Chains A and B, each alone.
Chain A
Amino acid sequence: MKLVRSIFLIAASAVAAVGFAPSLPAQVDDQVLVHPPANSWPGYHGDYSGRRHSSLTQIAPENVKNLSLAWAFQSNQTSLIKSSPLLADGILYFTVPENVWAVDARSGHQIWHYRHPRSSGEHIGHRGVAMYKGFLYFVTPDAHLVSLNAKDGTVRWNVEVADVNKGYWTSMAPLVVRNHVLVGVSGDFDNLNGYIRSIDAESGATQWQWDSTPPAGTPNQTTGGMTWMTGTYDPDLNLVYWGTGNPTPVLNGSTRPGDDLYTCSIVALNPDTGKLAWAFQVSPHDTHDWDAVETPVLVDADFHGEPKKMLMQTSRNGYFFVLDRTNGKNLLTVPYGPVNWALGVDKQGRPIPNPAKEPAPDGRIIAPDEGGLTNYRSPSFDTKNGLFIVDAHPSWSIYFAKPADGVYGWAGADYDVWGKGVLEAIDYQTGTIRWSHELGPEGSGAGVLTTDSGLTFTGDAMGNFLAIDSSNGKTLWHAGSGSVIVSSPTAYELDGRQYVLTSSGSVLFAWALPEK
């Protein structure tokens, strides 16, 4: 069977090579990354802004009821697909832990499949690859960065990003800015410091490292601040924006008095030097595991009548933040669902944690739950309606910590009590929820994509893919997917045909209007 498959693969690659060679445009380069053409999706978020908004209009509210399956790709793995497929030159690249596929974006057939040797480290999820000039960048559960030749999936080099034996792992899709491959790390079960590392796209050499927290063991200082999601980039300001995770020990803050910088923060870094331009902490002294790694979405628009370069985040802690991204100054802080852990908002726009809501031996009731009011699933900024659309998770939980739980790693216990999923369209100037759409009990893991035609694509808690009218939240199309959705949709155009790509369970689905 393996032989049969290899023969098939060789044949497939040969066909692919013949098919693509004559009209091959440049692979992902600086120009494509800054201004992605409609026939590409060159990074985790698509373009650098993190808006996950497509300018495509062929699929529109008027015709979306005709949307049908163009193809499906079965990964034949039990790992759930969490990655956003990258698209370049008609080929999709996507992942689950230790696996990368190259798949023809027109037909959904496999071009190659790279399987990394089974490694130690957490295999909890994988968000996808990055690409630069014909090479892919892929992180592994044992915290290595592997560069693959996009042509055939062969390994070009493999470098260590963090020490798996200390408790680190990696799962994120790197961010490429020129020759910098920016990689973040994960690890909450040990008191470890978080960092972002810039790795040379050609050689694999480390260019710089920015530490979000001091080295482990520094007295009275926090560890943590893991950097496990892909940041965004403003080419004009030449600043990279990145969210950092919770402090450790996670639920017990006694050994890390104060704000615990730079955990639960949005930071702006110069990609050439790793120098910090500014930082804004969304959860000072967190004791609830509320990573601030949710997409820092970059929007240029009026804010109360004044043109602004903004950064917006629906944070896991339950607050929606709007910042001036030139300097990190706060423009708006407002909850977008039930929150009960803060005493108010300070002068800088940061929520003030209520000490009475820290985990306690007999338990504290807390909203939102540990998974947060949202999580790694992407939100979308709908430029047409000025709406920030997020798959929210109103939820309640109980948090415990006692001296016997110690001050290492988790250092307490918490339990989800109740939650549900609600798609919310937030007016970015006020935080008012313009419309909402129930997504079902427990909540949905689906991210959001909006399009210029006025459509919002997402999924519900029961595994239905949904197309929704961005202006009012009404469902216009749906399809049951047969499994849970824990990824964010993307869109592209090939041969004059628009595709919307979603995944559920271990299957990738491409949707399009019927061919004429």
Chain B
Amino acid sequence: MTLQRVFLRFSLLLAASCLLRIGQGSAQTTTHKPQSSKASSPSAEKTYSPELVQKGKALFRQDCSFCHGRDATGGESGPDLTRSKLVAADVKGDKIGPVVRNGRLDKGMPPFDRSDDQIAALVAFIHTQRNAMSAAGLRGQGGRKGVDPSDLQTGNAEAGRQYFNGAGGCANCHSPTGDLAGIASRHQGLELEELMLYPTHAKSKVEVTLSSGQTLNGTLAYLDEFTIGLVDADGVYHSWRTADVHYKVDEAVNAHVDLFSKYTDDDIHNLMAYLQTLR
């Protein structure tokens, strides 16, 4: 059965990459040979030997599939790699390789000490999956599924606008003509909804007062019970023992946390509808 699945996937992949090549070829001006268009486009149409893909699949199954799904389309916690921007931009493992070897500890991904050959096999498998899945609109079997922008259109924009300006308190910090102007052109679908619910990458400002009375301001770079670190306006990192200083972290982003227990699902869908009008 597994073998059959491999063959099935491989033939799908071939079909998919043929379609892609035709599509891209017709978009190209005729001065380029098909070969050179292949080189100029990062990953979309490169094909790999079945042996390499099979080897990558086996490695992927052992170390990656719990989080990213057996088909690389998403598992228990990791993102769908077939829709990943990083994978799309990867050329011969130049983006994927470092992530595998260094991990992303801040996101819970451990590093994997893998040889060049193993990385090449993983890259072949991931790109093969990306080509097959995205071109044919397929979803992997068993793993986590995806969310399309069309799934997130059930709200009422006017109700969302009222919530934004009223009960939600969003207008206390945000403005549709200021920081959110054009937000729906920059972010779409699930990515926009996730940013709306909690802007993970928002930087907190911090003010640290030393025992001398001197005050320093900057972007919070590190904080635990024992140490506080900031990056100042010149980009220089400073740190102190928390016991030795007073500090005040700008916690505006916590307004998002306060909303979680107040939102109805309709509030979220309406707000999402409203934000999508800000193009």
Contact = CB atoms under 8 A, between A and B. Distances in A.
B152 A362 contact: yes
Contacts of A460: 224-225
Interface majority SS (helix, strand, loop, mixed), chain A: loop
Task: Specify which of B74, B151, B261 lies most central, judged by the most chain A CB atoms within 10 Å of its CB.
Answer: B151
Given A141-B62, A188-B76, A409 B197 contact: no
A362 B62 contact: no
A362 B151 contact: yes
B63 A484 contact: no
Contacts of B257: 418
Interface stretch (B27-35, B38-46, B108-116, B205-213): B108-116
Nearest to A437: B225
Given A338-B260, A365-B268, A415-B194, A410 B224 contact: no
Interface residues on B, range: 35 or more
Interface in B218-275: 222, 224-226, 256-257, 260-261, 263, 265, 268-269
By CB atoms of chain B within 10 A, which of A78, A338, A408, A464 has the most? A78
Given A363-B265, A363-B268, A78 B111 contact: yes
A409 B142 contact: yes
Nearest to A371: B77
B62 A464 contact: no
A400 interface: yes
B113 to A, nearest CB: 5
B111 A408 contact: no
Nearest to A438: B225
Specify which of A118, A356, A361, A370 lies most central, judged by the most chain B CB atoms within 10 Å of its CB. Answer: A361
Interface centre among A119, A398, A478 (most CB of B within 10 A): A398
A364 B226 contact: no
Contacts of A340: 261
Interface string A408-440: 111111111110000000000000000000001
B69 interface: yes
B194 A417 contact: yes
A189 B62 CA distance: 14
Nearest to B257: A418
A408 B141 contact: yes
B145 interface: yes
B136 to A, nearest CB: 14
B6 to A, nearest CB: 13
B197 A398 contact: yes
B193 A363 contact: yes
Interface in B131-156: 139, 141-147, 151-155
A410 B268 contact: no
Contacts of A418: 197-198, 256-257, 260
Contacts of A264: none
B260 A367 contact: yes
A334 B110 CA distance: 35
A237 B90 CA distance: 59
Nearest to B67: A124
Interface string B54-78: 0000100111011101100011110
Contacts of B151: 361-363, 400, 402
B66 A410 contact: no
Contacts of B139: 404-406
A363 B152 contact: yes
The 5 A-B pairs of least Cβ separation, nearest first, read A409-B142, A189-B142, A124-B66, A405-B145, A362-B154
Given A365-B197, A417-B194, A418-B197, 5 more contacts: A79-B110, A189-B70, A370-B77, A442-B108, A462-B222
25 contacts: A119-B62, A122-B62, A123-B62, A124-B66, A124-B67, A189-B65, A361-B151, A363-B147, A365-B260, A367-B261, A404-B145, A408-B141, A408-B142, A410-B143, A410-B145, A412-B145, A413-B145, A413-B146, A417-B194, A418-B256, A464-B225, A464-B226, A475-B225, A478-B225, A484-B105
